[in-house]
Amino acid sequence: MIDWSRVDTVLLDMDGTLLDLAFDNHFWLEALPGRVAERHRMDLPRARNHVLSLMRAVEGRLEWYCLDYWQRLLDVDMVALKGEFTHLIGFRPGAEAFLQALNRAGKRAVLVTNAHHGSLGLKLRHVPLAGYLDATYSSHDFGYSKEFPEFWDRVQQRDGFQPRRTVLLDDSHRVLAAARDWGVPQLCAIAQPDMGRPPLSQAPFPLIRDLAEVAPPVAEGVSD
């Protein structure tokens, strides 16, 4: 699925790729509508519709991922609310073994995320992810989400990865399509971003079920 002889850098999405999307789905679909209902004295179905319609209006844009934007709009402390159920933050199956294999094989592991720094910081405090990474980039530092070619221009200039020797793993098909159109040739999607929901059986990109199954072989001459 991944031609490791042609890969130096692995661009890794965080939520739904390395980490279980169950946390984020619970936040956006349950916890946030619940808090909006309390705060603005709405019933829960109305609060849920309100949040979903606001989300649809900015879907895929940087605002969608911006906690400050939502805090202003809904008058809810987004980071504090996320902090109430950190027990749902965790690696997807095989993710940590995959990161260890990347490190052993001498491949660069680079996080590219649309997560806002408030959310990124919370996740990094609850899973031992940062130690495996050679670099971390949030779209909030570049002014464009990963759905836009400007993000890929800017992150490539900052990081210096060679697009032709790079693979991107991401659970968002829209992001994968944007990276493909920009010039990343190797792309993989994730079959089960949220481990509490059924897996996809097909997608426009090769689907990874368990990251450990596509890990690179250990490079000759590289020892632990």
Question: At its nearest, how many Å lie between Mg ion and the CB of residue 188?
Answer: 13
Say whether residue 216 binds Mg ion (CB under 5 A). Answer: no
Backbone angles phi, psi at 59, to 5 degrees: -55, 130
Nearer to Mg ion, 10 or 37 (CB): 10
Convert residues 61-80 into a mask of x (bound to Mg ion by CB under 5 A) and - (unbound).
--------------------
Question: At its nearest, how many Å lie between Mg ion and the CB of residue 193?
Answer: 7
Q: Are 189 and 170 in contact (CB under 8 A)?
A: yes
DSSP state of 10: E
Return the beta strands (E) in the chain as ranges. 9-12, 108-113, 135-138, 166-169, 186-190, 207-208
Say whether residue 24 binds Mg ion (CB under 5 A). Answer: no
Interface positions, 155-214, toward Mg ion (CB under 5 A): 171
Question: At its nearest, how many Å lie between Mg ion and the CB of residue 36?
Answer: 23
Tokens of 149: 């070619």
Select from 1-9, 16-24, 158-166, 194-202 the region that touches Mg ion (CB under 5 A): 16-24
Q: What span, in angstroms and rounded, lies between the C-alpha atoms of 158 and 166? A: 15
DSSP state of 3: -
Q: What span, in angstroms and rounded, lies between the C-alpha atoms of 180 and 88? A: 31
Say whether residue 16 binds Mg ion (CB under 5 A). Answer: yes
Question: At its nearest, how many Å lie between Mg ion and the CB of residue 4?
Answer: 23
Nearer to Mg ion, 37 or 118 (CB): 118
Question: Which residue's beta carbon is nearest to the bound Mg ion?
Answer: 16
Backbone angles phi, psi at 20, to 5 degrees: -65, 125
Say whether residue 89 binds Mg ion (CB under 5 A). Answer: no
Q: How many Cβ atoms sit within 10 Å of the Cβ of residue 64?
A: 17
Q: Which of 13, 20, 147, 194 binds Mg ion (CB under 5 A)?
A: 13
Site residues, Mg ion (CB under 5 A): 13, 15-16, 171
